[in-house]
């Protein structure tokens, strides 16, 4: 098959989510023509989708080695390093994108996010504003400015940018009501705008929670253990070991909201199988137990199951609403006889 047809087929596999088909296709192309920057770049995307960051970096770098001004490869490296929390590297590659293509809206916006992570707020504002200057209807930059000003305590500015985000979302949804990304962004903006004007929403949008903890994932362990001196998993384990039971070993433990695995670290020795559940993909990527058999980490939440645990009061705590520690201890007691441990 000619290289052009192989590339088209590999690209088709990639767009349809057939990762293995795309992987084989791009590898075949590079065996024939190792100087194809597009194949190296797209292979890097496949490796990133497979969670193989080092291989993805090599592919993107190969693409840049062949074509130093290949903006998409620089952009993909910026995205990858940003996701890994390596902000100086991300800064370098996003800056290269803007040097090559000064009108790249996404490049300005993502550079702003990196500056924001580094605490360089003035530079972040300039980047977001540059993105809006290029495309006045670019929703993400408006939303990011709202987030930035909220973090700085400049609430009137935050309100203005969140309102602008809502206006742009409404306009976009009027043209394309099925645009899930815009709809999700609108939900998040409504929630955050409400928080700035003193309105309590019924619940935070799922995607907002996911994004919040995705951003928190890389510093989660350090912040909880070192800054907040978080010891709840150890306290719970000690409570469990102090119960009047001869056997506190479990066949299965399910950790709902497992995050990076801090509770799993405490309870892993007491169970044959550990299942972690979390809404945040990035938390799961950073989970210390990923890949350790028989540990299973998944994205799944049963709303009905969770709702049964959030009771205003229980027979064990009749005079007040239970605390998080009370609720977790209650669950420990409820399942201790069934060889099934449920944590959240």
CATH number at residue 126: 1.25.40.10
Where do we find the tokens 């976009």?
Answer: 172
Q: Does residue 277 lie in a domain region?
A: yes
Residues 6 or more apart whose CB falls under 8 angstroms from that of 84 comprise 53, 218
Q: Are residues 249 and 277 in the same domain?
A: yes
Count CB neighbours of 71 within 10 A. Answer: 18
Whole-model pTM: value is: 0.71
Structural domain includes residue 216: no
Judge if 107 and 95 occupy the same domain: no
Q: Is 224 inside a domain boundary?
A: no
pLDDT tens, position by position, 31-90: 989 999 999 999 999 999 888 999 999 999 999 999 999 999 999 999 999 988 899 999
The pLDDT assigned to 344 comes to: 53
**Domain limit, last residue, from 100, 116, 138:** 100
- Are 137 and 239 found together in one domain? no
Same-domain status, 238 and 297: yes
Assigned domain for 227 exists: no
Report yes or no on 207 lying in a domain. no
The reply to whether 115 and 155 lie within a common domain is: yes
- The CATH number of the domain holding residue 246 is 3.40.50
In the structure, what pLDDT confidence band is assigned to residue 337 with cuts at 50, 70 and 90? very low
C-beta separation of 257 from 283 below 8 A = no
pLDDT (0 to 100) of residue 286: 66
**Whole-angstrom Cα distance, residue 93 to residue 328?**
45
Say whether pLDDT at 323 is over 50: no
Which positions ≥6 away from 169 have C-beta within 8 Å?
139, 182, 183, 185, 186, 189
Average pLDDT for residues 109-129, to the nearest whole number? 97
Is position 38 within any domain? yes
pLDDT of residue 157: 97
In this structure, is residue 208 part of a structural domain? no
Asked which of 18-22, 64-68, 104-108, 336-340 is least confident by mean pLDDT, the reply is: 336-340
Whether 29 and 86 map to the same domain: the answer is yes
Is 238 in the same domain as 336?
yes
Q: Which among 77, 100, 123 is the end of a domain? A: 100
Q: Tell me, yes or no, whether 212 lies in a domain.
A: no
Question: Which of these three, 100, 120, 147, is where a domain ends?
Answer: 100
State whether residue 256 is helix, strand or coil.
strand
pLDDT, residue 227, reads: 76
Q: How many domains does the chain have?
A: 3
Q: What is the mean pLDDT of the chain?
A: 80
Q: Domain range for residue 153? A: 102-202
- Within 10 angstroms of residue 80's Cβ, the number of other Cβ atoms is 21
């Amino acid at each position: 098959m000619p290289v052009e047809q192989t590339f088209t087929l590999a690209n088709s596999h990639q767009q349809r989510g057939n990762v293995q088909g795309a992987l084989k296709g791009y590898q075949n192309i590079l065996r024939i023509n190792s100087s194809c920057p597009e194949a190296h770049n797209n292979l890097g995307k496949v490796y990133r989708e497979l969670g193989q960051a080092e291989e993805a970096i090599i592919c993107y770098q190969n693409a840049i080695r062949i074509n130093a001004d290949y903006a998409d490869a620089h952009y993909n490296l910026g995205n990858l390093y940003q996701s890994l929390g390596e902000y100086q590297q991300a800064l370098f590659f996003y800056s290269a994108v803007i040097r090559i293509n000064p009108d790249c809206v996404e490049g300005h916006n993502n550079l702003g996010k990196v500056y924001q992570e580094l605490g360089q707020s003035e530079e972040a504002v300039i980047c977001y504003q540059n993105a809006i200057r290029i495309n006045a209807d670019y929703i993400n930059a408006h939303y990011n400015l709202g987030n930035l000003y909220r973090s700085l305590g400049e609430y009137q500015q935050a309100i203005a940018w969140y309102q602008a985000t809502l206006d742009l979302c409404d306009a976009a949804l009027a043209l394309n009501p099925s645009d899930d990304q815009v709809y999700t962004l609108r939900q998040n903006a409504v929630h955050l705008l409400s928080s700035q004007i003193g309105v309590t929403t019924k619940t935070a949008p799922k995607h907002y929670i996911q994004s919040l903890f995705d951003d928190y994932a890389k510093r989660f362990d350090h912040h909880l253990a070192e800054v907040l001196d978080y010891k709840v998993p150890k306290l719970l384990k000690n409570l469990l070991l102090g119960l009047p039971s001869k056997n506190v070993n479990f066949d299965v433990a399910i950790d709902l909201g497992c995050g990076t695995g801090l509770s799993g670290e405490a309870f892993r020795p007491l169970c044959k199988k550990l299942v972690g559940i979390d809404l945040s993909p990035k938390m799961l990527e950073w989970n210390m137990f990923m890949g350790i058999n028989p540990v299973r980490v998944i994205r799944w939440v049963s709303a009905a199951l969770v709702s049964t645990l959030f009771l205003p009061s229980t027979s064990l705590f009749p005079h007040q609403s239970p605390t998080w520690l009370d609720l977790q201890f209650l669950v420990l007691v409820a399942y201790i006889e069934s060889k099934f441990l449920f944590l959240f």
